Structure 1
Amino acid sequence: MKRIASLALALLMMATLLVGCGGRADTEKPADDDTAAPAEDGAYTGNWIVAVNTSEGDILYEAVAKFCDLVEEYSNGSITCDLYGGTQLGSGQELLEGMSYGVANVYAESIGTLAPFSDYANIDAVPYLYSGYDHFIKTWNSDLGKEMRTTIGEDAGFKILGGMYRGARITTAKKEMKTVDDFKGFKLRAPGIDVYVKTWEWLGATPTPLAITETYTAIQQGTVDGQENPISECWNYGFYEVCPYWIKTNHVYSQDCFFMDLNFFNELPAEAQEIAERAAKEASEWRNGQMVEREAEVEQKAIDAGVTIVDVDTKEFMDKFDGFVDEVFPNLVEWADGIRAMA
Structure 2
Amino acid sequence: MRKFRLLSLCLALIMAVGSLAGCASSQSSAPAPSGTSEQKPEAKKETMVFKLANGSAIGDERDQSLQEFARLVDEKSGGTMKVEVFSGGSLGTWRDTIEGLEPGIVQIVCESIGTLEAYSPTASIDAYPYLYRDYDHYKKVMESEIGEQLLATVGQEGGFVIMGPSYRGARVVTSNKKFESADQLKGLKIRAPGIQMYIKTWEYFGASPVPMDPSEIYTGLQQGTVDAQENPVMYNYGSAFYDVCDYLIMTNHVMSTDVFIFNDDYFNGLPEDVQKVFKEAAKEAGNFRTQLVLDKEAATVKLMEEKGMEVIYPDVASFQAKLADFSKEFPNLTELVDKIHAVK
Q: Settle same-fold status: TM greater than 0.5.
A: yes
Q: What is the rounded CA distance, in whole Å, between the counterparts of 1:239 and 1:106 in structure 2?
A: 28
Establish whether residue 83 from structure 1 lines up as the match of residue 85 from structure 2: yes
- Report the counterpart of residue 225 of structure 1 in structure 2: 227
| Aligned CA-pair RMSD | 2.4
**Residue identity matched to 2:110:** A
Matched, 1:14 2:15: no
1:37: Cα distance to partner?
7.7
Q: Which runs of 5+ in 1 are unaligned?
A: 1-9, 20-28
Shift of 1:145: 0.5
Deviations 1:218-269 (A, max 9, x none): 2222221111111111112222122211111100000111001111111112
- Can you list the C-alpha shifts for 1:13-65, whole angstroms capped at 9, x where unaligned? 6116899xxxxxxxxx9995143589999977521111211233201001011
Aligned twin of 2:341: 340
> Partners of 1:12 and 1:172 in 2: how far apart?
35
Aligned-partner Cα distance in 2 for 1:30–1:287: 35
Measured after TM superposition, the shift of residue 270 of structure 1 is 1.4
2:213 aligned residue: 211
Larger radius of gyration: 2
Confirm or deny: 8 A CA contact 1:17 1:98 kept in the other structure. no
Take 2:206 and 2:78, find their aligned partners in 1: how far apart are those partners?
Answer: 54
Q: Which moved more, 1:136-145 or 1:43-52?
A: 43-52
- The CA deviation string for residues 54-111 of structure 1, in whole angstroms up to 9 with x for no partner, is 2332010010111111111111111112221112211111111111111111111111
Alignment match, 1:246: 248
Residue 20 of structure 2 is matched in structure 1 by 33
Structure-2 change in CA distance of 1:39 and 1:264 (3 Å): farther
Equivalent residue number for residue 185 of structure 1:
187
Higher mean C-alpha deviation, range 80-89 or range 63-72: 80-89
Match of 2:40 in 1: none
Equivalent residue, structure 2, for 1:3: none
Deviations 1:143-174 (A, max 9, x none): 00011111101111110011110010001111
Q: Name the SS for the 1:101 alignment partner.
A: coil
Q: What SS does structure 2 have at the residue aligned with 1:100?
A: coil
Please report the TM-score for the alignment, with normalisation by the length of structure 2: 0.88
**What is the rounded CA distance, in whole Å, between the counterparts of 1:43 and 1:270 in structure 2?**
16
| Structure 1 residues 38 and 267, CA gap change in structure 2 (3 angstroms) | farther
Query: Which residue of structure 1 aligns with residue 56 of structure 2?
Result: 54
SS in 1 for 2:216: helix
Aligned residues: 324
Specify the alignment match of 1:6 in structure 2.
none
In 2, distance between residues paired with 1:100 and 1:173?
37
User: Which letter does structure 2 place at the counterpart of 1:340?
Assistant: H
The 8 Å contact of residues 57 and 239 in structure 2, kept in 1 or not, is answered as: no
Deviation of the 1:193 alpha carbon: 0.9
- Paired residues for 1:1-343 under 5 Å: 14-15=8-9, 33-35=20-22, 45-325=47-327, 327-343=328-344
CA–CA separation in structure 2 for the residues paired with 1:43 and 1:277: 21
3-state DSSP of counterpart to 2:109: strand
1:99 is paired with a residue of what secondary structure?
coil
What TM-score does the superposition give when structure 1 sets the normalisation length?
0.88
